[in-house]
Chains A and B, each alone.
Chain A
Amino acid sequence: MKSSRSYPYWFILPGGLVYLVLFLVPTVAAFWFSLTHWDLFETRFIGLDNYYQFLREPFLITGVVNTVIFGVLTSIAKSVLGLLLAVLLTSGLLGQSFLRTLIFFPVLVSTIGVGIAFAEIMHPARGMLNIGLSYFGIQGPAWLIDPNLALFSVALVDIWKGVGLATLIYIAGLATISSDYYEAARIDGATKLQMFFRITVPLVRPATVTVVTLSLIGGLRSFDIIWAMTKGGPGFSSDVLASVIYKQYQAGFYGLSTAGNIILFALVAFIVIPLTYWFNRREVDL
């Protein structure tokens, strides 16, 4: 009763209005526009034709499949590497705070800048990466030129850029685990490996939830890094939904582009929501 006067709802209005008009309204409108043939000149209702087209056209299907591959792959890699690096960088290693800083810095750097630089680093013949590999007697692949490899090469750079954030989240998570558990395990004669899998992995779960969810949402939506490095090429081999949406928009197929947006939305929701639900249920079991 009193709280309604002390904490008036109009405080929500300024931000809420911007959010409503520029985010919620377009999101809802997208459902309608995705059912239309929409270009510069006209908007005509065509039912589910845009969605059928997404299922029929091979290059559009590639985009959907690549989105899932890219999102899942980068998310798994970031959480596994992030946890291992976090354990390593909290073990009292020489120069560990310097290494933390080093690994984290790429998170803050412009994705476009990183993408352009790595496109040159991954040059098949003259690039630094393959020259470096040749010192070890390894013949490096054609990274971004090879259609079978391009998507994975971009994913590699995305992991390089993002693993620092995962590492820091895990370091924060590790700090909450009481050292008593390790002490007790040591007295019982547990090996380091056993301690990692029986104590660290289960107890660092909240951090895992954050890392996996954040990097999945980011990974499924990623556009900058792919656009800066390959533009979806060679051919359509590294196209993801976000780049398909942009290409269809540029080509003037607004309805088709918006349908791509809805599919991306559905993909994020169908992967992330059940996953969060599952994560939270498991937490109660423990």
Chain B
Amino acid sequence: MKRQQIINGVIALVIGVLIFVTPFIFIGLTAVKSAAEASQLGLSWPSEWLFWDNLVAVIQARNYMLLLAYFNSTVITVGAISLLVISAAMIGYVIQRRPSKWNGFIYALILAGLMIPPAVVPTIWLLKELHLFKTLHGMILIQVAYGLSFSVLLFRSFIASIPRDLDEAAIIDGAKPWQVFFKVILPLLKPVTVTVILVQSVTIFNDFTNPLYYLPGKDNVTVQLTLYNFQSQFSSQMNLLFMNILLVTIPPLIMFIFFNKQIVKGMTAGAVKG
């Protein structure tokens, strides 16, 4: 490594840390300060560390609302992802393996899902008709509908790399189509499944807009909704608000530490081929 590269690297590191790390340091420090100190908004060192006190206060706020929120968000994320993986893999499998005159039409529908902003008020009307409005299972189905296009495209391109001989061998052996899929193909989809799970769980866990519309009311709060509600409630207790931000940041941070490579792969998938 040349001297110039080292100097450039140090400069880039300093600027990078300044721009991308300071905001998180600010969040962390504000979260452990007293209310009075936090309202100064500075980067100063806290005169006393109130990590535990603030943590307990945030969790107890509004009758343990945050715990309910974490529970609901977990149910929605896990539920939606389980359904997404199975249904998207099945769709990707059939449209990849079975070229037909319908495929153009099906692709148009898939691309529509990536592009078209959901029509919120008509969706609410429909959810009410189906008695799914303000319910967790309604929210799960909404997340499946909105995440399907992206997941199908990922599965389809991965399935293209699995040789057809495999399915044909199983079919000749007398396996039924669903057996071929669940016993032969699905186990081979592990890498792309991990990618779909990671990318979608970040998306669904961080989703704010859809719960705001489809899941109003304090029984169904999600993590992001709670944070948003605390913004007005804790306007004079910045320390508690930022403790909440810290708590919301931890799940993606943990995932990021363990699955950095897969997340990056999933989010940049298809970029190179265009």
Are A113 and B245 within 8 A (Cβ)? Answer: yes
Question: Pick the contact of B9 from A18, A94, A110 — CB < 8 Å?
Answer: A94
Evaluate whether A15 and B88 lie within 8 angstroms (CB atoms) in the complex, with A112-B224, A126-B42 already known: yes
Q: Within 8 Å CB of A114, what residues of B? A: 23
Are B148 and A18 within 8 A (Cβ)? Answer: yes
Are B13 and A99 within 8 A (Cβ)? Answer: yes
Q: Within 8 Å CB of A217, what residues of B? A: 114-115
Q: Which B-chain residue is minimally distant from A16 (CB atoms)?
A: B91
Query: Binding site of A, secondary structure by majority: helix, strand, loop or mixed?
Result: helix
Q: Within 8 Å CB of A173, what residues of B? A: 271-272
Are B238 and A98 within 8 A (Cβ)? Answer: no
Evaluate whether A103 and B256 lie within 8 angstroms (CB atoms) in the complex, with A116-B231, A209-B274 already known: no
Q: Within 8 Å CB of B273, what residues of A? A: 206
Evaluate whether A21 and B117 lie within 8 angstroms (CB atoms) in the complex, with A111-B208, A116-B241, A176-B272 already known: no
Are B120 and A268 within 8 A (Cβ)? Answer: no
Are A94 and B6 within 8 A (Cβ)? Answer: yes
Are B9 and A102 within 8 A (Cβ)? Answer: no
**Bound form: Cα–Cα A257–B213 in Å:** 13
**Bound form: Cα–Cα A98–B21 in Å:** 12
Are A172 and B272 within 8 A (Cβ)? Answer: yes
**Interface bits A251-264 vs B (CB < 8 Å: 1, else 0):** 00010011001101
**Bound form: Cα–Cα A108–B144 in Å:** 20
Q: Within 8 Å CB of B17, what residues of A? A: 102
**Interface bits B79-94 vs A (CB < 8 Å: 1, else 0):** 0000110111011011
Q: Within 8 Å CB of A139, what residues of B? A: none
Question: Pick the contact of A30 from B115, B119, B206 — CB < 8 Å?
Answer: B119
Question: Pick the contact of A12 from B94, B119, B123 — CB < 8 Å?
Answer: B94
**Bound form: Cα–Cα A278–B270 in Å:** 19
**Interface bits A115-155 vs B (CB < 8 Å: 1, else 0):** 01110110100111001000000000000000000000000
Question: Pick the contact of B264 from A27, A104, A120, A258 — CB < 8 Å?
Answer: A104
Are B144 and A15 within 8 A (Cβ)? Answer: yes
Contact of A24 with B by CB under 8 A:
yes
Evaluate whether A261 and B117 lie within 8 angstroms (CB atoms) in the complex, with A7-B94, A26-B126 already known: yes
Q: Which A-chain residue is minimally distant from B127 (CB atoms)?
A: A22
Are B94 and A11 within 8 A (Cβ)? Answer: yes
Are B268 and A131 within 8 A (Cβ)? Answer: no
Question: Pick the contact of A108 from B12, B91, B208, B255 — CB < 8 Å?
Answer: B255
Are B238 and A120 within 8 A (Cβ)? Answer: yes
Question: Pick the contact of A207 from B12, B16, B120, B271 — CB < 8 Å?
Answer: B271
Query: Binding site of B, secondary structure by majority: helix, strand, loop or mixed?
Result: helix
| Closest chain A CB from B250 CB (angstroms) | 10
Are A128 and B227 within 8 A (Cβ)? Answer: no
Q: Within 8 Å CB of B248, what residues of A? A: 109-110, 112-113
Are B42 and A160 within 8 A (Cβ)? Answer: no
Q: Within 8 Å CB of B206, what residues of A? A: 108-111
Evaluate whether A95 and B9 lie within 8 angstroms (CB atoms) in the complex, with A5-B177, A116-B245 already known: yes
Are B26 and A117 within 8 A (Cβ)? Answer: yes
Contact of A165 with B by CB under 8 A:
yes
Query: Which listed segment binds B: A53-61, A191-199, A220-228?
Result: A220-228
Contact of B97 with A by CB under 8 A:
yes
**Bound form: Cα–Cα A254–B241 in Å:** 33
Are B13 and A110 within 8 A (Cβ)? Answer: no
Are B177 and A6 within 8 A (Cβ)? Answer: yes
Are B252 and A257 within 8 A (Cβ)? Answer: no
| Closest chain A CB from B231 CB (angstroms) | 6
Contact of B57 with A by CB under 8 A:
no
Lowest 5 CB-CB distances: which A-B pairs, in order? Answer: A94-B9, A15-B87, A206-B274, A30-B119, A22-B145
User: Can you pick out 25 interface pairs between chain A and chain B where the beta carbons lie within 8 Å of each other?
Assistant: A12-B91, A12-B106, A15-B144, A15-B148, A18-B145, A22-B142, A26-B126, A93-B12, A95-B9, A105-B20, A107-B267, A108-B206, A112-B208, A113-B245, A117-B245, A120-B26, A120-B41, A121-B26, A173-B271, A205-B274, A209-B274, A246-B120, A261-B117, A261-B120, A265-B117
